Structure 1
Amino acid sequence: MAHFNRESNNAILLAGILALVVGVGVARFVFTSLLPAMLEDSINIAFAGVLASINYFGYLSGSVFSIFIKDIYTKVKYFRLGLVLCVICSFVLGITENDIVWVIARFLAGFGAAMALVVGSAIVMLKLQSTNKTKAMGIHFSGLGFSIVITDLVMRGVFSYGGDWKDAWLILAILGGFFSCYSAYILRFEKQPTNDVIKHKFDKSLFSPMVIILILAYFTEGVGMVVQSTFLPDIVNSLDGLSGYGGWVWLVAGIAGIPSCIIWMRLAHRFGSINIMMIAMLLQIIGILIPIFSNNIIMNLISGILFGATFIGLVALFMNFGGQLSKKNPVFIMGALTAAYGVGQIIAPLYSVALIEQFQTYNHALYLTAFIVACGILLLTYAKFNLKEATLCMQ
């Protein structure tokens, strides 16, 4: 069967997408879908912010760790470990409400998510037999959109049959286990003699001015995505007349994200990655600011669409551009980029919770977030007009 052929591009891309559903959906984004129900039943907004930051701290730790994984077989080993952690830690949230256990589980799930996204994406990039990996990786990163949609629909199914958020965690963990088995089977390499194993050394020369600016800009994008990816349903539910609509806005964000990677990557191939990154970040700022100025459901659905279409596309754009700059060792710069992204994700929920508790509204957190993303656009503008690498043409 073609879907079980480890060398088939279709199988490789399907395995990569399912790995993202497990690592990014089950281990991370479904927390956003379930947050309103958990806020009503078990936790407060402050602890929710702590759990989000802890998860992103685990993600940051995994991202930094991934930079130092030298050979491809070790990458595969930690990729599989990551999938196992994502499944087990999600299962744990369905069987206990112990705060300490939750903190540990969210940290380990974050580490596992980094293995699934950073290391998994590098494995996919290396395994693909394609002359145009830019477009192929756009298909792979569509898994970020699927990760929101699939986990959100499963959650809705559980709720519609009388289950609660605990049942949702358990069902999602079981589903994640099945997906993980397929991804682990496909995303591997045939063993070579020890002397033939390619090892990637830590190469400081890869940190060119362009890469450093890319890392700083991706930090601002980490801030830009995490406020909405953590609180979007609750932000919408808090608006006058929109209570109960937050989950639909989140689902729309996921649906918008599915084709966005392919579209953004094709635009980048035609008009240049830096230009398209700047446009996507500008659109993201508009989406961030909409809930401040409007409680109209259509406008807030547009906010969700802009969020899903831009943050998922930007992950693909930054990761692919970084992978191209790093040439033979994509996990190296991918890991450095994701580490910076992770720092932004740790900081943003903490300042958001502080501002929410101080002013009893999300507005100030959204203003600050939009400002930080705007700083990222300025960094990319500098790179565009001052650095030759910014004109790199990715084939």
Structure 2
Amino acid sequence: MYLLNKNSNTSIILAGILALIVGVGVSRFAFTSLLPSMLDDFLSVSFAGYLAAINYVGYLSGAIFAVFIKDINTKVKYFRVGMLLCVLTTIFLATTHNETVWLLSRIIAGFGSAMALVVGSAIVMTKLNMQSKTKAMGIHFSGIGFSILVCDLIMRAVFQANGSWENSWVILTIFAFFATLYSIYILSFDKEQKTANTSHGFDKSIFSTYVVLLILAYFAVGIGFVVFATFLPDIINSLEGLEGYGSLTWTLVGLAGIPSCIFWMNLAHKKGSVNVIIISMFLLFIAIMIPTLTNNVYLNLLSGVLYGGTFVGLVGLFLNIGGKLAGKNPVVLMGAMTTAYGIGQVIGPLYSVALIDYFKDYNYALYVTAGIVLLGIFLLFIAKNIANEEQKNL
């Protein structure tokens, strides 16, 4: 069969998208889809925030670790381990309410997510047999949007059949198992690949003021991403008259996320990366502010669309410009950018939990988050003013 051909570009992209659905969807975003149901049962908002933070600690450690795996054969091994970890840690959420087990499973799942996303994407890039891989990788990263949508649709189907959130985790585990088998099979090589070990010395001149400002702005995006990624369905459900709309909003996040990376990358090619990043971050700022200003159903659904339509694209935009700035030594700069984004992902749920506990609603957590995103935009305007001619053309 054509889709079982390891060297077919179609099967490689499909396997990459399935890896993202398992690694990012089942291992992370499914938690957001199921959050309202779990909050109604045994979870507290505070513990949900801690689970989100520790999940991103696992992801951050895995992402930094992945940056330093040079050999493609080693990448394949860690990709397999990460995918299996994503499957195994999901079943624990269905079978126990033990908080320690949940905390351990979420941090391990975070590490598995990094292997699926960072390492899996590197394998897809290596295996694709085409001259220009930019558009194909844009399709691959649409898997982040699909990861939200597919997991949300599975959850909806389970609840439609009068199932529970525990049943949802079981069905998600079964789906993840078969998707993992396919991804592991396709994203591998028939024989060990020969790789040249080239190393570049650490060049601290990479970290100019311009680059540091970009890294700080990416930290702000990490915070802007994670608060909605953790709480959005419950934020919408908590608004007067919008009870039950949280799930629909989250579905729209996934739908908007699917084409976003391709759209923003194409626009950046025409208008310049930093200009497009500023526009995208401003739309993210608006998305975060909408639930604090109105309970209008259409505007809050728009909030989900704006959020889904920006956060995936922003990852692609920042890493793309980072790769161009790094030249022949992308490891250190990519590591720094990934770390900044990851720290934002860890901090966001923690301060949000503190503010939610104190003020008894989500508004102040959203005000702080929106303010940090706005500060990131301000830093980008400063970066634009100090950019040299080469940087302005990126």
TM range (shorter): over 0.9
Assess, with a 3 A threshold, how the Cα gap between structure 1 residues 334 and 159 changes in structure 2: closer, same or farther: farther
1:138 aligns with 138
Q: Which aligned pairs between 1:23-172 and structure 2 lie closer than 5 A? A: 23-172=23-172
Counterpart AA for 1:345: Q
Distance 1:3 1:382 in 2: 48
Contact between 2:68 and 2:331, CA under 8 Å: does it hold in 1?
no
Q: State which of 197, 202, 208 in structure 1 corresponds to 2:195.
A: 197
Distance 1:189 1:323 in 2: 26
1:377 aligns with 377
Assess, with a 3 A threshold, how the Cα gap between structure 1 residues 43 and 326 changes in structure 2: closer, same or farther: same
Q: Which aligned pairs between 1:228-267 and structure 2 lie closer than 5 A? A: 228-267=228-267
Contact between 1:20 and 1:143, CA under 8 Å: does it hold in 2?
yes
Is 1:295 the equivalent of 2:295?
yes
Distance 2:184 2:36 in 1: 33
Assess, with a 3 A threshold, how the Cα gap between structure 1 residues 23 and 329 changes in structure 2: closer, same or farther: farther
2:391 aligns with 390
Q: Which aligned pairs between 1:183-222 and structure 2 lie closer than 5 A? A: 183-192=183-192, 196-199=194-197, 201=199, 203-205=201-203, 207-209=206-208, 210-222=210-222
Distance 1:127 1:213 in 2: 34
Structure 2 residue ranges without an equivalent (≥5):
none
Counterpart AA for 2:115: M
Q: Which aligned pairs between 1:348-363 and structure 2 lie closer than 5 A? A: 348-363=348-363
Q: CA deviation at 1:124?
A: 2.0
Q: Which aligned pairs between 1:273-284 and structure 2 lie closer than 5 A? A: 273-284=273-284
Counterpart AA for 1:204: F
Contact between 1:134 and 1:320, CA under 8 Å: does it hold in 2?
no
Q: CA deviation at 1:138?
A: 1.4
Q: CA deviation at 1:337?
A: 2.5
Q: CA deviation at 1:390?
A: 2.8
Contact between 2:20 and 2:117, CA under 8 Å: does it hold in 1?
yes
Contact between 1:66 and 1:331, CA under 8 Å: does it hold in 2?
no
Assess, with a 3 A threshold, how the Cα gap between structure 1 residues 86 and 341 changes in structure 2: closer, same or farther: same
1:310 aligns with 310
Distance 1:116 1:321 in 2: 22
Distance 2:189 2:334 in 1: 20
Distance 1:229 1:291 in 2: 14
Superposed CA offset, 1:135-185 (max 9, x none): 222111111100000000000101111111111111111111111112112
Superposed CA offset, 1:82-125 (max 9, x none): 11111110111111111100000000000111111111122222
The size of the alignment, in residue pairs, is 391
Bigger mean CA offset, 91-100 vs 323-332? 323-332
Assess, with a 3 A threshold, how the Cα gap between structure 1 residues 71 and 301 changes in structure 2: closer, same or farther: same
Contact between 2:26 and 2:147, CA under 8 Å: does it hold in 1?
yes
Q: CA deviation at 1:255?
A: 0.6
Distance 1:376 1:367 in 2: 14
Distance 1:13 1:392 in 2: 30
Assess, with a 3 A threshold, how the Cα gap between structure 1 residues 91 and 56 changes in structure 2: closer, same or farther: same
Counterpart AA for 1:233: P
Counterpart AA for 1:169: W
Contact between 1:55 and 1:108, CA under 8 Å: does it hold in 2?
yes
Q: CA deviation at 1:198?
A: 2.5
Identity, % of aligned positions = 57
Contact between 2:73 and 2:192, CA under 8 Å: does it hold in 1?
no
Q: CA deviation at 1:236?
A: 0.5
Is 1:14 the equivalent of 2:17?
no
Counterpart AA for 1:161: A
Counterpart AA for 2:391: A
Superposed CA offset, 1:221-257 (max 9, x none): 1100111111001101111111111111111111111
Distance 1:184 1:211 in 2: 36
Assess, with a 3 A threshold, how the Cα gap between structure 1 residues 113 and 138 changes in structure 2: closer, same or farther: same
Contact between 1:141 and 1:261, CA under 8 Å: does it hold in 2?
yes
Bigger mean CA offset, 262-271 vs 375-384? 375-384
Q: CA deviation at 1:63?
A: 1.3
Superposed CA offset, 1:54-107 (max 9, x none): 101111111121122121111111111111111110111111111100000000
Superposed CA offset, 1:249-269 (max 9, x none): 111111111111111111112
Assess, with a 3 A threshold, how the Cα gap between structure 1 residues 319 and 353 changes in structure 2: closer, same or farther: same
Contact between 2:20 and 2:143, CA under 8 Å: does it hold in 1?
yes
Superposed CA offset, 1:183-228 (max 9, x none): 11222245457xx422354742284425443332211111001111
CA RMSD of aligned residues (A): 1.9
Assess, with a 3 A threshold, how the Cα gap between structure 1 residues 208 and 4 changes in structure 2: closer, same or farther: farther
Q: CA deviation at 1:335?
A: 4.2
**SS of equivalent residue, structure 1 residue 243:** coil
